[in-house]
C-alpha cells in the first residue's frame, strides 16, 4: 500500500489537538506505520523558526514571515516528510501549506500567486493526499482563542483576520473537493471522532 500524506488544518480553536489524538488512536489500532509532525516545526530548525514566528514580540514583514514558513517547510519536507513516505510510513502533519494560503494569504493579504510560486519551488508537485479541514464558526474560534492563557502572535489578531482565514480555508476546500474533507468540529467530540474515523477508513480502503 502506498503511504499517505495527510494534513489537518483549520482556524485556531477548531480542535486540532483533540482530533489528532483520534487520528493517532486510529493508526495505532490498525498497526499502520505513521509519523506525526507539525508546521511550522517538525525539525530542529523548523522548531526554532516556529518559536520566532509565534513569539508576540517578533517584528517581521509579511514576505519574510512567508519565507520563514516555507523555510521551515522545506527542511521539514527534506528531512522528515519525504524520507518517511519513501520508507512506507504514513505522515500526518498538523498544518501544512493550506495554512500559508489561509493566514499569510487570507489573513494578511499576500497574493495567492506569490504563495503559489513558493509552493511550487519548495514542494514541486507534492500535495497532501488528503487534508482534513476542521471547521468551527468564527465566534467559536474567537471564544476558544480568548480563553487561552497566553496568546501567540497569530492569536493576537482581530476577528476580521480570522474571518478571512476561515473564508480562504473553506474556499480552497470547495475548489478541490477531491483533496479536502471539511469536518464540522462544532459538535459533540464523539460525533466528530466518528466522522474522522470514517474518513480514514475510506481513504485507506481506497488505497
Ligand atoms: P498551531 O500549530 O498551534 O495552530 O500554531 C501555528 C500558528 O501558525 C497558527 O496560528 C497558524 C500559523 N501558521 C501560519 O500563519 N502559516 C503557516 O504556513 C503555518 C503552517 C502556520
**What DSSP string runs through 112-155?**
HHHHHHHHHHHHTT---SEEEEEE--HHHHHHHHHTSSS--TTT
Average of per-residue pLDDT values in the chain: 97
Structural domain boundaries enclosing 14: 5-205
pTM above 0.95, yes or no: yes
Give the closest residue (by CA) to ligand 1 atom 13.
99
To test ligand 1's pocket by mutation, which of 103, 164, 166 has the most ligand atoms within 8 angstroms of CB? 103
Residue 107 reports pLDDT greater than 70 = yes
**pLDDT tens readout for residues 138-174:** 999 999 999 988 999 999 999 999 999 999 999 999 9
**Count: domains in the chain:** 1
Report pLDDT for 66. 99
Q: Within 6 Å (CB) of ligand 1, which residues are found?
A: 12, 38-40, 69, 94-95, 99-100, 103-104, 154
CA 95 to ligand 1 centroid distance, Å: 7
> How many helices and strands in the chain, by DSSP H and E?
9, 5
Give the closest residue (by CA) to ligand 1 atom 16.
100
Report pLDDT for 207. 60
HSE at residue 63, side-chain half, CA atoms within 13 A, is: 3
79 closest CA partner among 31, 128, 45: 45
Neighbours of 186 (CB within 10 A): 15
Identify the CATH number of the domain in which residue 23 sits.
Answer: 3.40.50.300
Amino acid at each position: 500500500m502506498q503511504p499517505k500524506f495527510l494534513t489537518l488544518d483549520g482556524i485556531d480553536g477548531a480542535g486540532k489537538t483533540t482530533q489528532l489524538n483520534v487520528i493517532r488512536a486510529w493508526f495505532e489500532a490498525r498497526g499502520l506505520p505513521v509519523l506525526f509532525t507539525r508546521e511550522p516545526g517538525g525539525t530542529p530548525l523548523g522548531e526554532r523558526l516556529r518559536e520566532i514566528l509565534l513569539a508576540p514580540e517578533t517584528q517581521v514583514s509579511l514576505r519574510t514571515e512567508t519565507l520563514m514558513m516555507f523555510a521551515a517547510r522545506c527542511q521539514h519536507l527534506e528531512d522528515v516528510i519525504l524520507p518517511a513516505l519513501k520508507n512506507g510510513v504514513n505522515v500526518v502533519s498538523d498544518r501544512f501549506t493550506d495554512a500559508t494560503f489561509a493566514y499569510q494569504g487570507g489573513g494578511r493579504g499576500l497574493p495567492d500567486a506569490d504563495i503559489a510560486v513558493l509552493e511550487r519551488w519548495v514542494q514541486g508537485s507534492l500535495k497532501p493526499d488528503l487534508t482534513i479541514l476542521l471547521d468551527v464558526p468564527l465566534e467559536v474560534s474567537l471564544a476558544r482563542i480568548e480563553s487561552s492563557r497566553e496568546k501567540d502572535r497569530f492569536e493576537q489578531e482581530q476577528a476580521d483576520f480570522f474571518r478571512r482565514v476561515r473564508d480562504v480555508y473553506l474556499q480552497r476546500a470547495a475548489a478541490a473537493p477531491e483533496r479536502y474533507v471539511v469536518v464540522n468540529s462544532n459538535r459533540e467530540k464523539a460525533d466528530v471522532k466518528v466522522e474522522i474515523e470514517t474518513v480514514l477508513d475510506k481513504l485507506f480502503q481506497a488505497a
